[in-house]
Amino acid sequence: NAGVTQTPKFQVLKTGQSMTLQCAQDMNHNSMYWYRQDPGMGLRLIYYSASEGTTDKGEVPNGYKVSRLNKREFSLRLESAAPSQTSVYFCASSGRNEQYFGPGTRLTVT
């Protein structure tokens, strides 16, 4: 039982490049989330998915797209990376109450 897994762990992009962050959970949870964490800013919700086939914007959705591929997987895509997107990205899933977080992806955009 791996919980929530994320790939890659680290990534460096140049401005304008694109990439997709992958997230998968094996707990049969309906809800999945993408957060970004910047120093001193706590965790900010980018997008979430309450169930397979649905996605909704969070607090900071601009510059990102998401896909809920199936119940297990929820991906986050940066179409044209910007330095302001340098951050640590966490994926999370939840059943009824608490959220379970993945180990995070540390992304640097130069």
* CB of residue 20 to other proteins, shortest distance in Å: 20
DSSP, res 73: B
- Binding mask 46-85 vs other proteins (x if CB under 8 A, - otherwise)? --x-x-------xx--------------------------
Contact flag: residue 42 with other proteins (CB under 8 A):
yes
Of 45, 63, 73, 86, the one binding other proteins (CB under 8 A) is 45
84: helix, strand or coil: helix
Contact 49, 74 (CB under 8 A): yes
Which residue in the block uniquely carries the two structure tokens 């809800």? 31
Q: How many CA atoms lie within 13 A of 32 on its CB side?
A: 32
List of residues contacting other proteins (CB under 8 A): 30-31, 35, 40-45, 48, 50, 58-59, 90, 92, 94, 96-104
